Structure 1
Amino acid sequence: MKANHQKEQCMVCEEYREEGIRILFSFLCRDCEKEIVDTETNEVMYDYYVKKLKQMNTSKVEL
């Protein structure tokens, strides 16, 4: 029996993907997770990823 996966929008690339991780109220696709992990601090994309990940702290909080 095949599992029914719901696509969610990645907070970094904004694509809809089935596989990834949830962090707080945000979804991070597997591709972006790998890119973030493999990015060195001196690379151009590093600041972009940091900015996107900081948005998790300001996303909706439901109490």
Structure 2
Amino acid sequence: MGKNVHAHICGICDQTKDEGIFLYQLYICEDCESKIISTSPKDENYQFYVERLRAINQSFYTI
């Protein structure tokens, strides 16, 4: 009974979070959203976020 019905699994970090956004069908938690926005192309995590965000493009065409 203690489960939050508004929790979703983040498509970036794969953790269940209560707060975030949907970008098409991909849910992105607030923490990952902040990290994506503040990551520069020179950052070592940049490519990781690019690969995870590609899931948006793939899921968009499979609908």
Q: Does the residue aligned with 2:45 lie in a helix, a strand or coil?
A: helix
In 2, distance between residues paired with 1:56 and 1:34? 18
Structure 1 residues not aligned, in runs of 5+: none
The number of residues matched between the two structures is 58
Q: Percent identity?
A: 31
Query: TM-score, normalised to structure 2's length?
Result: 0.85
**Partner of residue 31, structure 2:** 31
- Deviation at 1:26? 1.0
The separation in 2 between residues aligned to 1:52 and 1:25, in whole angstroms, is: 13
Residue 44 of structure 1 aligns to a residue whose secondary structure is: coil
**Which structure 2 segments of 5+ residues have no match?**
none
TM-superposition CA deviations, 1:6-57 (whole Å, max 9, x none): 1000000000001000011110000000000010100110000001001111
- The root-mean-square deviation of aligned C-alpha atoms, in Å, is 1.3
TM norm structure 1: 0.85
> Which 4+ runs in 1 deviate beyond 4 A?
none
